[in-house]
Structure 1
Amino acid sequence: MAILHKATLSPTKLELIAGYLPKQPWFIQDGTPELVGAYRFDDPAGEVGLETHVVAAGDRIYQIPLSYRGYELAGAEEWLVGTMEHSVLGKRWVYDACADPVYVKALATAILTGQEQAEQFVDNNGTLEPRPSTVSVKGSGTLDGGVPTVSASAPVSGSGVTVIDAGGLRLKIARVVDVPAELSSASVAAPELHHELTLQGRWEGLEGPVELAAVVRN
């Protein structure tokens, strides 16, 4: 369960993403990013916010996982997207979540166990009000327990996919999302993951689910 606050953010998440995207090797410099939707995973410790944004820029759809922390993540300076001021929580350090071990563990768990996105609630003066997710996801695995220990290495990006070697697992996160033709007329095809266990996602206007991430055993 993700607890959200009614707050003002400076800069906004989309402003941070707009500054981050042009620096990425998988981004085609075409159009201003617009938010399509987002989904969250839970941090069991309740310390790190894990939110993945789906954005459109030009005729392509991109997936941007972010992690929000109240302190700097040691050794992750290269993947710092920026900092923001949160009117309730104070200063937040925002990272490319592919370099955040909390996100890597959450993603692997969701895929392997068939988990869905976290339920979201807004804290309104002590009353928790449900907020629907604008992107729904579900892992294809059926593991009841015993998720392998994850010890994530630095993410490697290229050709529209970020790869993370995480101990006995290899995670692949689609950065350029392979959407149906009616939603994307890109001349360069988005990468297809096609692995046994995947994270499938859908959002408003999408006729069928798309692959957002995959996991294979090393």
Structure 2
Amino acid sequence: MAVIHHTTIVPSKDELLTAWLPTRPWYRPAAGGPRLERAGGFRLDDPAGEVGIEFMVVTDTAGDGPVSYLVPLTYRGAPLEGAEDALVGTMEHGVLGRRWAYDGCHDPVLVAELLALIEGRARAQDQNASDLPDDGIGRSFTGEGPVAMAPTAVTDGRDATELHDAAQGATLRLNRVLRSGAPVQGAAGEVTGWWRQLDGTRARGAFAVLRTAGRD
């Protein structure tokens, strides 16, 4: 299990995301730049114990209406080779030292563990506490596993990031702009989660959707 260190991080994750989010095609521009509030999320464990994996939900209140974003991040103790374009930024961790934060859609460790979560081989962990499962994260899988995607393309759209594996005929979609709603029909697998709205209530919707060959 990953150990959560309650310590200083400079710059903070919020500061990194405030600078990074406006560079994304799925970000909804707002006057004056993002004003972010933490709204939820969860973690996954790296079996090798080397990479931190966090799925953050942040809500931007700068525009005409709040927009909640799913931001999967990985934290590494050294640069990830070939992932320069996926670098969110570097930060100094009070316990672990220099950390490189990446858009997790481009990190094979996150992709592998997200697929393991969908299939039921991994369990979501609390975002802020060590050794505490997060039972608020749902998952389903109706396909035949294990699915071992090696994405050949990662595409950012207006609402989501899609990872395509041409050889497997599989697509893993991560919804960046979150909307509440019912489970997706016809998918091979799905991860659902909740996030806090500004009035204190919880919304729930799809975080990630897996489609495989033979499924609509």
TM-score interval, smaller chain: 0.7 to 0.9
Q: 2:194 aligns with which of 190, 202, 216?
A: 202
Determine if the alignment matches structure 1 residue 217 to structure 2 residue 212.
yes
Partner residue, 2:156: 157
> Higher strand proportion, which one?
1
CA RMSD in angstroms comes to: 2.6
Aligned identity (percent) is: 36
After superposition, the C-alpha distances for 1:127-156 in whole angstroms (9 at most, x for unaligned) are: xx65685x931211267x951222123421
Task: Give runs of ≥4 in structure 1 deviating > 6 Å.
Answer: none
Q: Distance in 1 between matches of 2:115 and 2:132?
A: 24
Partner residue, 2:138: 138
Q: Distance in 1 between matches of 2:206 and 2:122?
A: 15
After superposition, the C-alpha distances for 1:54-99 in whole angstroms (9 at most, x for unaligned) are: 0111321110000000010000000100000001101000000000
Q: Distance in 2 between matches of 1:121 and 1:105?
A: 22
**TM-score normalised according to structure 1 size:** 0.81
**TM-score normalised according to structure 2 size:** 0.82
Q: Secondary structure at the match of 2:72?
A: strand
After superposition, the C-alpha distances for 1:165-217 in whole angstroms (9 at most, x for unaligned) are: 2452310000000137xxxxxxxxxxx96442210102454556311110011
Distance 1:195 1:34, change over 3 A: farther
Structure 1, gaps ≥5 residues long? 123-128, 181-191
Determine if the alignment matches structure 1 residue 174 to structure 2 residue 169.
no
Distance 1:25 1:120, change over 3 A: closer
Partner residue, 1:49: 52
Structure 2, gaps ≥5 residues long? none
Q: Secondary structure at the match of 1:148?
A: coil
C-alpha deviation, 1:37, in angstroms: 1.7
